[in-house]
Amino acid sequence: MNRSANMRAIRSKDTLPELTVRSLIHKLGYRFRLHRAGLPGKPDLVFASRRKVIFVHGCFWHTHGCKISHVPKANSDYWTFKFQMNRLCDRKNLAALRSAGWKFLVVWECELKDSHEVSARVKRFLDRAS
């Protein structure tokens, strides 16, 4: 019962890592759209005039490989399959964006510990000519 309650409480939009990245980017002076449905993977931040998108990935759900990401011990077969499918979906979405002429940047949840580095990476990404 506790697991079900936990899973229901997890949001796919407006997560703390996403709100943190949005705040950093807004402070840098960039404006963006959120979760544009017409693009593969519904990117978290869309900079349409630049044809660039940013995904903010949770390390657990997208199995980053850092300390935060792990396979739960309970029902590990389910979780292993779930994480494999998440990674496959991520790869397909990024490939579809690339083939449509969009550039993308993935910001990982664990990287947000160093907000200055994330800000610098985002700035380089957005200012770079396509």
* Backbone phi, psi, residue 14, to 5°: 60, 40
Q: What number is the average pLDDT over the span 7-24?
A: 78
Spans of all domains in the chain: 2-127
Fold of 2-127: Endonuclease; Chain A (3.40.960)
What was the pLDDT predicted at 75?
85
Per-residue pLDDT band at 71 (split at 50, 70, 90): confident
Per-residue pLDDT band at 62 (split at 50, 70, 90): confident
Distance CA 3, CA 85 (A): 21
pLDDT tens digits for range 81-122: 998 999 999 999 999 999 999 999 999 999 999 999 999 999
Residues of the chain above pLDDT 70, percent: 89
The DSSP bridge partners found for residue 54 are 45, 105
- For the chain, the 3-state helix, strand and coil shares in percent, each to the nearest 5, are 50, 15, 35
Residue 56, number of CB atoms within 10 A of its CB: 24
SS3 of residue 92 by DSSP: helix
pLDDT tens digits for range 3-15: 565 555 555 676 8
Distance CA 97, CA 19 (A): 23
What was the pLDDT predicted at 53?
97
Distance CA 103, CA 97 (A): 7
